[in-house]
């Protein structure tokens, strides 16, 4: 849907082919779905991973062009003048800390947003399927941490164009989903429009391919194989995956154009719907890690109760509480319900994790995992600081903020590297003592 919106607006498809906007969305959705479906269904995870890498690099280049040309357009040919306009006029729009009346208040960071992020990084099939497909633990950690680095560029790649769009178009756009593609059509030089379109098309296909592949995998291993055919061969399972992937793709293409009815925009619409499955999944995983006796029936009852309650509270009763807070509250409810049900719904044999590394994958940590993690956390705090009333959103200088974070960054990395080195030395000394004892 987002891809169809972008292409329809950037190339004025309704005017070009003399069709309605709604019809243009349907046509483009089905074109994207058919091309992406063929690639994902017949190419498999490896083809999706390779295309993700290439499309990701192209998207970074293409995505970085838009803020550059947008600021240049806003500043009448000068990027610095464009920056000056957004930092001196309506600079309150630079505040990333949502007020109580905003769709996502900043307090939700400590309730539903925190749980949603745990879901995304720890249980989202499209993410963990790639991490678990790495050749070693260190390579998987590198992939996740690099993804985190790119995530910190989102305010520049996405929010900044939205802010410039506000300065250029004001409230003239009927649908907030049109802000980005309209800005692209307005500010990007025509010779670069084809390149950007290719980048965008690749990114859209990557997203669709990834989730289609993950959905087919989940269907085969969590539904078809355990219920219908436990001893199915790999070749037959791949055949089932292709059929299920085709069905999922068709259903997706039927539903996507209907997202036009989301009055608050695509992002918030999807976030509201995500509450149906994000929260109970991470609750199940958390209880699964911390408890060895609660059985599957208790988990299933909890999921049904969650879906019923969430739908009732957000859509039927429309309680006067932000839906993200509702998600955070239901996370606690899900865990408590499972614990209560688990007091009498128990497994016959307590679950034990297998101790043997049957895959023979190298499980050594990447030596820079801790310092890079620290830099990422500090970087996130830095972004939230400059995009607050203490920083740009208050019309303040960033000099003191930059100095403070530089000291925190340099000092923190020095301490982490020293402590890591000390731990390694102790481990090596213990190994040496153990070897000497064995020799004696």
Residue 45 has pLDDT above 60, yes or no: yes
Q: Assess if residue 307 is contained within a domain.
A: no
Give the mean model confidence (pLDDT) for residues 193-199: 84
Is the Cβ–Cβ distance between 283 and 331 less than 8 Å? yes
Q: Assess if residue 277 is contained within a domain.
A: no
Reported confidence tier of residue 439, pLDDT bands at 50, 70, 90: low
Q: Identify the residue with better confidence: 141 or 418.
A: 141
pLDDT of residue 406: 92
Collect all residues with Cβ–Cβ distance below 8 Å to 324 and sequence separation of at least 6: 104, 105, 108, 111, 112, 113, 116, 271
Q: Which residues pair with 346 in a beta bridge?
A: 294
Residue 76 has pLDDT above 60, yes or no: yes
Q: Assess if residue 96 is contained within a domain.
A: yes
**For 375-420, what is the HEC assignment?**
HHHHHHHHHHHHCCCCCHHHCCCCHHHHHHHHHHHHHHHHHHHHHH
Q: Assess if residue 324 is contained within a domain.
A: no
Give the mean model confidence (pLDDT) for residues 255-273: 76
Collect all residues with Cβ–Cβ distance below 8 Å to 290 and sequence separation of at least 6: none
Rounded Cα distance between 218 and 210, Å, is: 12
Q: Assess if residue 154 is contained within a domain.
A: yes
Q: Assess if residue 179 is contained within a domain.
A: yes
- How many Å separate Cα 17 from the centre of its chain? 35
pLDDT of residue 422: 64
pLDDT of residue 414: 86
In this structure, the number of other CB atoms found within 10 A of the CB of residue 156 comes to 15
Is the Cβ–Cβ distance between 32 and 8 less than 8 Å? no
pLDDT of residue 263: 54
Residue 326 has pLDDT above 90, yes or no: yes
Domain end call among 262, 293, 318: 262
Is the Cβ–Cβ distance between 74 and 167 less than 8 Å? yes
Residue 260 has pLDDT above 80, yes or no: no
Q: Identify the residue with better confidence: 236 or 174.
A: 236
pLDDT of residue 78: 93
Report the b/e string of 159-190 with b at 16+ CB within 10 A. Answer: ebbebbbbbbeeeeeeebbbbbbbbbeebbee
pLDDT of residue 46: 73
pLDDT by residue (tens digit) across 132-168? 888 899 999 998 999 899 889 989 988 899 899 999 9
Looking at every residue in the chain, the average pLDDT score rounds to 86
At residue 389's C-alpha, the angle toward residues 383 and 68, to 5°, is 50
Residue 432 has pLDDT above 80, yes or no: no
Are 89 and 238 in the same domain? yes
Are 229 and 371 in the same domain? no
Residue 313 has pLDDT above 80, yes or no: yes
Residue 267 has pLDDT above 80, yes or no: no
Residue 68 has pLDDT above 60, yes or no: yes
Q: Identify the residue with better confidence: 430 or 367.
A: 367
In this structure, the number of other CB atoms found within 10 A of the CB of residue 393 comes to 18
Count up the domains in the chain and report the number. Answer: 2
pTM: 0.76
Give the least confident one: 95-104, 229-238, 261-270, 356-365: 261-270
Q: Assess if residue 117 is contained within a domain.
A: no
Collect all residues with Cβ–Cβ distance below 8 Å to 439 and sequence separation of at least 6: none
Rounded Cα distance between 244 and 81, Å, is: 53
Residue 324 has pLDDT above 70, yes or no: yes
Q: Identify the residue with better confidence: 208 or 80.
A: 80
Q: Which two tokens stand for residue 337?
A: 């319900």
Share of the chain above pLDDT 90, in %: 39
Residue 102 has pLDDT above 60, yes or no: yes
**For 144-170, what is the HEC assignment?**
HHHHHHHHCCHHHHHHHHHHHHHHHHC
Q: Assess if residue 242 is contained within a domain.
A: yes
Domain end call among 228, 262, 296: 262
Residue 434 has pLDDT above 80, yes or no: no
Residue 437 has pLDDT above 60, yes or no: no
Give the least confident one: 232-241, 249-258, 305-314, 427-436: 427-436
Residue 51 has pLDDT above 80, yes or no: no
Are 375 and 253 in the same domain? no
Q: What is the CATH number of the domain that holds 200?
A: 1.20.1730.10
Is the Cβ–Cβ distance between 299 and 344 less than 8 Å? no
Are 179 and 48 in the same domain? yes
pLDDT of residue 270: 78
pLDDT by residue (tens digit) across 377-386? 999 999 999 9
Q: Identify the residue with better confidence: 128 or 283.
A: 283
Residue 282 has pLDDT above 90, yes or no: yes
Name, of 3-7, 261-265, 383-387, the range with top average pLDDT.
383-387
pLDDT by residue (tens digit) across 30-39? 998 898 888 7
Give the mean model confidence (pLDDT) for residues 265-273: 76
Give the mean model confidence (pLDDT) for residues 194-215: 82
Task: Give me the domain span that covers residue 411.
Answer: 365-440
pLDDT of residue 265: 65
In this structure, the number of other CB atoms found within 10 A of the CB of residue 306 comes to 24
Domain end call among 221, 243, 262: 262
Rounded Cα distance between 199 and 8, Å, is: 16
Are 66 and 198 in the same domain? yes
Are 48 and 183 in the same domain? yes
Give the mean model confidence (pLDDT) for residues 21-41: 87
């Amino acid at each position: 849907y987002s891809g169809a919106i972008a292409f329809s607006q950037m190339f004025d498809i309704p005017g070009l082919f003399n069709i309605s906007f709604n019809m243009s969305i349907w046509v483009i959705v089905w074109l994207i779905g058919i091309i992406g479906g063929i690639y994902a269904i017949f190419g498999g995870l490896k083809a999706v991973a390779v295309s993700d890498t290439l499309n990701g690099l192209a998207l970074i280049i293409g995505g970085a062009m838009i803020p550059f040309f947008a600021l240049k357009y806003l500043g009448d040919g000068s990027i610095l003048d464009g920056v000056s306009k957004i930092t001196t006029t309506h600079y309150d729009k630079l505040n990333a800390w949502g007020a109580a009346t905003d769709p996502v208040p900043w307090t939700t960071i400590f309730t539903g947003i925190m749980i949603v992020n745990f879901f995304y990084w720890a249980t989202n099939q499209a993410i963990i399927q790639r991490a678990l497909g790495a050749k070693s633990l260190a390579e998987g950690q590198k992939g996740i941490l690099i993804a985190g680095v790119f995530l910190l560029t989102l305010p520049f790649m996405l929010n900044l164009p939205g802010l410039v769009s506000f300065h250029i178009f004001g409230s003239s756009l009927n649908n907030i989903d049109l802000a980005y593609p309209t800005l692209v059509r307005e500010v990007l030089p025509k010779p670069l429009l084809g390149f950007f379109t290719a980048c965008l098309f690749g990114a859209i296909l990557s997203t669709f391919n990834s989730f289609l592949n993950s959905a087919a995998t989940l269907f085969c291993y969590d539904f078809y194989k355990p219920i219908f055919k436990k001893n199915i061969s790999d070749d037959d399972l791949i055949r089932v995956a292709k059929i299920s992937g085709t069905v999922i793709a068709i259903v997706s293409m039927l539903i996507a154009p209907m997202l036009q009815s989301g009055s608050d925009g695509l992002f918030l619409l999807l976030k509201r719907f995500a509450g149906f499955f994000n929260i109970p999944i991470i609750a199940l995983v958390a209880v699964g890690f911390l408890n060895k006796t609660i059985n599957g029936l208790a988990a299933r009852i909890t999921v049904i109760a969650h879906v019923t309650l969430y739908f009732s509270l957000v859509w039927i009763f429309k309680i006067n509480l932000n839906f993200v807070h509702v998600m955070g509250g239901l996370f606690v409810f899900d865990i408590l319900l499972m614990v209560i049900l688990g007091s009498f719904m128990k497994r016959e044999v307590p679950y034990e994790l297998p101790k043997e590394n049957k895959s023979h994958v190298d499980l050594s940590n990447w030596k820079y995992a801790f310092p890079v993690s620290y830099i990422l956390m500090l970087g996130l705090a830095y972004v939230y600081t400059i995009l607050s009333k203490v920083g740009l959103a208050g019309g303040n200088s960033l000099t003191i903020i930059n100095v403070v974070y530089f000291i925190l960054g340099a000092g923190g990395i020095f301490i982490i590297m020293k402590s890591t080195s000390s731990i390694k030395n102790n481990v090596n000394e213990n190994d040496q003592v153990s070897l000497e004892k064995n020799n004696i």
